[in-house]
Amino acid sequence: MTTTERTEFLTVFQKCVERLTQDTELALGELFDLTAQRLVRLAMTITGSQSDAEDALQGAFSRIAGKPGLLVKADAPWPYLIRTVRNESLRIMQKRRHFQMETLEASSTARPVESMLDQEETSERVRRILESLPKNQYEVVILKHWEDLTFAEIAEALELSQNTVASRYRYAMEKLQRSLEPLVR
Are 138 and 45 within 8 A, CB to CB?
yes
User: Considering the domain boundaries, does residue 116 fall inside one?
Assistant: no
Write down which residue in 56, 83, 107 finishes a domain: 107
User: Considering the domain boundaries, does residue 112 fall inside one?
Assistant: no
Residue 28 parent element (H or E): helix 24-47
Asked if the model's pLDDT at residue 184 lies above 80, the reply is no
Asked if the model's pLDDT at residue 12 lies above 90, the reply is yes
User: Considering the domain boundaries, does residue 16 fall inside one?
Assistant: yes
Are 6 and 60 within 8 A, CB to CB?
no
Please give the mean pLDDT across all residues of the chain.
83
- What is the residue range of 40's domain? 1-107
CA-nearest of 138, 143, 137 to 81 is 143
Asked if the model's pLDDT at residue 48 lies above 50, the reply is yes
Span 113-129, pLDDT tens digits? 333 333 345 666 777 78
**Which residues have C-beta within 8 Å of that of residue 179, sequence separation ≥ 6?**
129, 132
Span 71-110, pLDDT tens digits? 999 999 999 999 999 999 988 888 877 665 655 555 544 4
Write down which residue in 107, 139, 169 finishes a domain: 107
CATH number assigned to the domain comprising residue 52: 1.10.1740
59 alpha carbon, distance to own chain's centre: 14
Write down which residue in 107, 131, 166 finishes a domain: 107
